[in-house]
């Protein structure tokens, strides 16, 4: 199990939001490279980058993403946020991403998802953002009327690089993980699970590892210091 610092981009800065709400921004690092350098100094090698502006159609952070991905050879990056075309998948991979994360269109357009997954086998990670049991899309603003179990079943045959499951109802609240949800996904899918939402303590990371999670994205707790970065990196970087 690996711990993966989140670098969420908004207006060129690295931010942390509560519950995905743009009105509830709690952390801002003006230069995202400063965040990357800080987490690298503890030994983290894998990072999750999200273009929040692109996710809501409010702009692009392609420049900052390019700088992050070219900062140091040998690091692993998953990159997502507003990736809704084959050309954008290609562009993200061309920037140097190890994985490209697709959410809204992947959930809404099964034919397109199959095409990009087969064209880039092992490089596409599907983001399933879950509120309660429902998978939500469009920057967490729209419901899909699809239960997580039915989404997992539809993804099973595809040559994916993994599943990024975010418990939206836990995101940014530092109150722990929706462990029953993550255990269900890890048990029912053959794809590597990247868990996100509410990871607060090293014990959360250990428990995610015990239920079969491949990686855990850590955000608010890391940026606020509630999660000890050195301890998390020693055990999970």
Burial class (CB in 10 A: 0-12, 13-18, 19+), 171: buried
In 3-state terms, what secondary structure has residue 144?
A: strand
pLDDT for the residue 173: 64
- The kind and range of the H/E element at 122 are none
- How far apart (Å, rounded) are the C-alpha atoms in residues 217 and 191? 16
Nearest to 167 by CA among 154, 183, 156: 183
CA neighbor of 127 nearest in space, from 71, 76, 69, 78? 78
- Is 31 tagged catalytic? no
What pLDDT, on a 0 to 100 scale, did the predictor assign at position 24? 78
User: Which DSSP category does 192 fall into?
Assistant: P
In this predicted structure, what is the pLDDT of residue 56? 84
pLDDT of residue 2: 98
pLDDT for the residue 41: 98
Residue 178 annotated to the active site = no
Cα–Cα distance list, 96 to 40, 69, 72, 90, 135 (Å): 18, 6, 11, 10, 29
3-state secondary structure of 172: coil
Strands 2-10 and 13-17: antiparallel
User: Crossing angle, helix 229-236 and helix 32-42, to 10 degrees?
Assistant: 60
Whether this model's pTM surpasses 0.75: yes
The whole-number pLDDT of residue 8 equals 96
Q: What is the pLDDT of residue 137?
A: 60
Q: What is the pLDDT of residues 5-14, one digit of tens each?
A: 999 999 999 9
Spans of the chain, pLDDT less than 50: none
d(CA 140, CA 144): 10
Catalytic residue (one of 31, 34, 51, 129) = 129
Q: What is the per-residue pLDDT for 190?
A: 97
């Amino acid at each position: 199990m690996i711990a993966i610092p989140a670098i969420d981009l908004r207006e060129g800065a690295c931010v942390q939001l509560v519950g995905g709400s743009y009105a509830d921004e709690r952390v801002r690092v003006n230069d995202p490279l400063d965040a990357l350098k800080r987490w690298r100094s503890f030994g983290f090698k894998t990072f999750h980058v999200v273009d929040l502006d692109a996710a809501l159609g409010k702009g692009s952070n392609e420049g900052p993403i390019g700088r992050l991905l070219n900062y140091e050879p040998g690091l692993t990056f998953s990159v997502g946020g507003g990736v809704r075309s084959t050309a954008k998948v290609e562009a993200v991979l061309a920037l140097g991403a190890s994985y490209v994360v697709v959410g809204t269109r992947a959930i809404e357009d099964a034919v397109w998802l199959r095409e990009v997954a087969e064209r880039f086998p092992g490089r596409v990670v599907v983001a399933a953002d879950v509120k309660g049991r429902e998978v939500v899309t469009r920057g967490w603003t729209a419901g899909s009327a699809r239960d997580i179990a039915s989404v997992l079943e539809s993804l099973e045959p595809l040559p994916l690089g993994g599943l990024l499951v975010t418990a939206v109802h836990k995101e940014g609240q530092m109150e722990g993980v929706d462990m029953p949800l993550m255990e269900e996904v890890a048990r029912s899918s053959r794809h590597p699970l990247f868990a996100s939402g509410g990871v607060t303590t090293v014990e959360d990371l250990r428990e995610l590892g015990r239920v079969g999670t491949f990686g855990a994205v850590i955000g608010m707790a890391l940026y606020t210091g509630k999660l000890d970065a050195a301890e998390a990196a020693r055990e999970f970087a």
